[in-house]
Structure 1
Amino acid sequence: MFHPSHPGETLREDVLPALNLTVTRAAEQLGVSRVALTRVLQGQAGISIELARRLEQWLRHADGTGPTAESWLRAQLQYDLWQANRTPAPHVAPAPGLEALSKA
């Protein structure tokens, strides 16, 4: 079974070492607190839309390539869904009148 890693792990294991940055320095460059970035790097907090936008700008290459905000958010969503699917799904009855929607 595929086990997606938390996107903070990618930042911690790949990005920061490649840029030779400390958490404090990376937080300064991103314009976020060291505590907030540390929580993401440790998998205790997710990548927010705002952080994803900051990461996109921060890691954009001169030719305009690099990970997009959408790619960071997609990674976070995959991780969150994988975590959620590890527990039983809540029981929810189908919406009344659902058949009428498919005929419209």
Structure 2
Amino acid sequence: MTITNTAGMQRKPTHPGEMLREDFIPDYNLTVSGLASLLGVSRQSVNELLRERRALSPEMALRLARLFGNSPEFWLNAQRAVDLWTAAESVSEEISRITPLDAA
């Protein structure tokens, strides 16, 4: 799975926590406690990520990539897409007032 260019996306991109909650945990028959144990992190850390109250860190991306056999970039790109979309939504009016420069 790859994260494509999200420029102009009308809906919020899928948070990495939602991916874990909806796809990975059921597919691997895991619990929150079991996932936390396998990752070597607290249950609270995993729970906050799953509830989308915590952003995915590079460290967590490394842990998840190792556990599930994919890449840290997969996880970080998903988080980046969410972060950019959220930022664009919050400052879109201010951004629209910026006039692009023309090349000299």
Structure 2 length-normalised TM = 0.78
Unaligned runs of 5+ in 2: 1-9
Q: Which residue matches 2:90? A: 87
SS, match of residue 54 in structure 2: coil
Cα distance in 2 for partners of 1:55, 1:41 equals: 13
Q: Which residue matches 2:72? A: 69
Q: Which residue matches 1:56? A: 65
Aligned residues: 92
Name the structure, 1 or 2, with higher relative contact order (CA <8 Å, separation 6+): 2
> Root-mean-square deviation (CA), in Å?
2.1
CA deviations over 1:16-49 (Å, ceiling 9, x no partner)? 0011111000100010100001000000001100
Q: Which runs of 4+ in 1 moved over 3 A?
A: none
Q: Which residue matches 1:23? A: 32
Q: Which residue matches 1:6? A: 15
- Counterpart amino acid of 1:38? N
Q: Which residue matches 2:47? A: 38
Structure number with greater Rg is 1
SS, match of residue 14 in structure 2: coil
Cα distance in 2 for partners of 1:2, 1:14 equals: 19
- Counterpart amino acid of 1:32? V
Identity of matched residues, %: 40
